[in-house]
Amino acid sequence: MKTFKTISFLCLSLIFTNCKQDDSFFKLPVVEEETVRAESSSDIFPNRNDEEQIIRNQVIFKFNDKTTRDQIRTQFESIRTQIDTCSCGDLMYELWTLDDTQIDVEGAIGQVEDNGGGGVEGENQFIIQLPSGTLPTDTIPKEDRLGVIRGLTFSQINSEPRVNIAIIDTGIDLKRNIDASKFLYNTRDIFECRNQTSGWNFVDGNEDISAENDHGTFVTGIITDALSSSQLVPDGIKYSILPIKAFDINGRSTYWDIVCSFAYVNQVQKINKNIHIVDASFGYDFESIEDSVELERLHDRQSILRDLIYQLKESTVVVTSAGNRNNDNNVIPHYPSGFNDNPINIDNNVVIDSLDNIVGVGGWSLDQESQRLSIGNYGNNTIDLGAKYFQHHMTFEYRDIRDGLGFHIRETASVDGTSYGTALVTAKLAEQIYDESISTRGINELPAVTIENFFNSNFIDKDVGLQANFINGKFLK
């Protein structure tokens, strides 16, 4: 909830033209504001109980090569009404909307895979929902956003050591982050995706990475505040943020949008080879599925997403939330955090035990006797460590026009939830990586080595009281 009166922002394009603070900004009257948010541990679909998790007439296919893709498209033209490819990035992933009056989803998956000769893989499409407590956010008016984004200028010096973090979330509020060009990752010259500037919006299929829901803005704010104030090195942490918008104004995404987001990261990584962390402060389970056969099938699938994370195993750590629902993740698997514990079948023939480039994050808090307790989901085989659950603070300073007058807004935000603890772990891991980058070890440690170094660093401690909740009772100090 907001502790201050909701204000309708009437923004003038003049405010955002240069996307930087000039001296006149600090001469404006200051307005102090406070925002408080708390994630709920309620149902996976808060206030959406009438909606089924599985989208019954859609299937996601991954093709190993263009020839197989084109043959399958022609062969099964009659069963579908629409084909979508990821709006930016790899075109070997497709979302098929089926004519469900002619064929069921399972029949379509089976037939296409059988006829693909091992060159195609099919999976179910389903909804992923952020916890309640994340709300629509005031932002730059929609008609002004693309102009602001396309006008961004980047000041990073590419030759400098820098830790680069991709954040898959709701985007970033450019009103609150008027200096975003100082830290946004430049994707203009990587590969062509219709005017992409920094990251991509897979909700609307364009370059507008502006957040319409505050979750991504707060996740980003926790990370940037922690890195900007870090005392680990004398000159401060140098970092870039690659925002990838996969969740809409209501905090809703789909498996398809998450697949496309990770495929996008892989494309950027193949070209630039410098994305060190993916922050995925979200997750999902299938607890709402009552049919045991369907439930087992859903757990056995998801190899498309697991493969995309697996492809990053040589270069990139994925930090992800383990959930808020007070479930035992050893019993009720939670994804993608649970991929670090389950055997994985890649391309139907290569089996690996687990993904060792994933860090699953739970939550902890202190009770009245100052003893640490787990908050949210737990699992001593699946959750790597706990992070503080309550009171993650950040500050945003920006200018705004209200009643025709300019103001300097200083907003202090305090948020609770596993998502935000995950963001803090991302920030501390980024410090670890940056420290290694300017040391003799270099920045090219394998993710598994980086994670092990992180777990053995001064950032992490162990508590015997948390051993039943997190692996070895580890927690972020």
Residue 27 within a domain: yes
Last residue in a domain, options 96, 127, 158? 127
Residue 335 within a domain: yes
pLDDT, position 133: 67
Report the interhelical angle of 255-272 vs 303-310 (nearest 10°): 20
Q: Does one domain contain both 320 and 466?
A: yes
pLDDT at residue 280 tops 70:
yes
pLDDT, position 198: 94
CB-based contact 261:209 (threshold 8 Å): no
C-alpha distances in Å from residue 226, one per residue of 198, 209, 230, 365: 21, 22, 6, 20
Q: Does one domain contain both 219 and 312?
A: yes
In angstroms, rounded to a whole number, what is the distance separating the alpha carbons of residues 363 and 358? 17
Q: Which two tokens stand for residue 331?
A: 């019993």
pLDDT, position 276: 95
Q: Does one domain contain both 154 and 92?
A: no
User: What 3-state DSSP class applies to 278?
Assistant: strand
Strand pairing of 358-366 and 372-375? antiparallel
> Picking from 159-163, 252-256, 323-327, 350-354, which range would have the lowest pLDDT averaged per residue?
350-354
Residue 7 within a domain: no
CB-based contact 436:451 (threshold 8 Å): no
DSSP per-residue codes, 115-126: HTTTSEEEEEEE
Instruction: Name the domain count of the chain.
Output: 2
pLDDT, position 10: 31
Q: Does one domain contain both 19 and 86?
A: no
Q: Does one domain contain both 137 and 177?
A: yes
Higher-confidence residue of 21 and 71: namely: 71
Residue 6 within a domain: no
Which of 184, 181, 209 is closest to 195 using CA atoms?
Answer: 209
pLDDT at residue 347 tops 70:
no
> Picking from 147-151, 372-376, 449-453, which range would have the lowest pLDDT averaged per residue?
147-151
Strand pairing of 93-98 and 80-85? antiparallel
CB-based contact 37:416 (threshold 8 Å): yes
pLDDT at residue 345 tops 70:
no
pLDDT, position 100: 74
pLDDT at residue 423 tops 60:
yes
Q: Does one domain contain both 103 and 201?
A: no
Q: Does one domain contain both 180 and 244?
A: yes
pLDDT at residue 226 tops 60:
yes
Residue 5 within a domain: no
In CATH, what number is assigned to the domain containing residue 434?
Answer: 3.40.50.200
pLDDT, position 45: 35
Higher-confidence residue of 45 and 435: namely: 435
> Picking from 54-68, 84-98, 349-363, which range would have the lowest pLDDT averaged per residue?
349-363
Average pLDDT of the segment spanning 394-410: 83
Higher-confidence residue of 44 and 371: namely: 371
In CATH, what number is assigned to the domain containing residue 74?
Answer: 3.30.70.80
CB-based contact 98:1 (threshold 8 Å): no
pLDDT, position 25: 61
> Picking from 135-144, 187-196, 378-387, which range would have the lowest pLDDT averaged per residue?
135-144
- The domain of 60 spans 55-127
Higher-confidence residue of 62 and 193: namely: 62
Average pLDDT of the segment spanning 218-235: 90
* Percentage of the chain exceeding pLDDT 90: 59
Last residue in a domain, options 112, 127, 142? 127
Q: Does one domain contain both 365 and 246?
A: yes
In angstroms, rounded to a whole number, what is the distance separating the alpha carbons of residues 246 and 169? 6
Give residue for tokens 């990475």.
Answer: 209
pLDDT, position 44: 36
> Picking from 299-308, 342-351, 387-396, 399-408, which range would have the lowest pLDDT averaged per residue?
342-351
Average pLDDT of the segment spanning 75-94: 94
pLDDT at residue 15 tops 50:
no
Last residue in a domain, options 103, 127, 151? 127
Average pLDDT of the segment spanning 187-196: 85
Strand pairing of 120-129 and 372-375? unpaired
Residue 4 within a domain: no
pLDDT, position 294: 92
Higher-confidence residue of 8 and 456: namely: 456
Residues 6+ apart with CB under 8 A from 163: 227, 237, 238, 239, 240, 276, 277, 430, 433, 434, 437, 443
pLDDT, position 241: 96
Residue 222 pLDDT grade (very low, low, confident, very high; cuts 50, 70, 90): very high
Q: What is the pLDDT of residues 35-73, one digit of tens each?
A: 888 886 543 333 333 456 999 999 999 999 999 999 999
How many CB atoms within 10 Å of residue 204?
Answer: 12
Q: Does one domain contain both 82 and 167?
A: no
pTM of the complete model: 0.90
Cα dihedral sign, 210-215-217-220: negative
Q: What is the mean pLDDT of the chain?
A: 85
Q: Does one domain contain both 33 and 77?
A: no
Average pLDDT of the segment spanning 98-112: 85
Cα dihedral sign, 397-215-265-330: positive
User: What 3-state DSSP class applies to 228?
Assistant: helix
Q: Does one domain contain both 45 and 72?
A: no
Q: Does one domain contain both 320 and 426?
A: yes
> Picking from 131-140, 205-214, 279-288, 452-461, which range would have the lowest pLDDT averaged per residue?
131-140
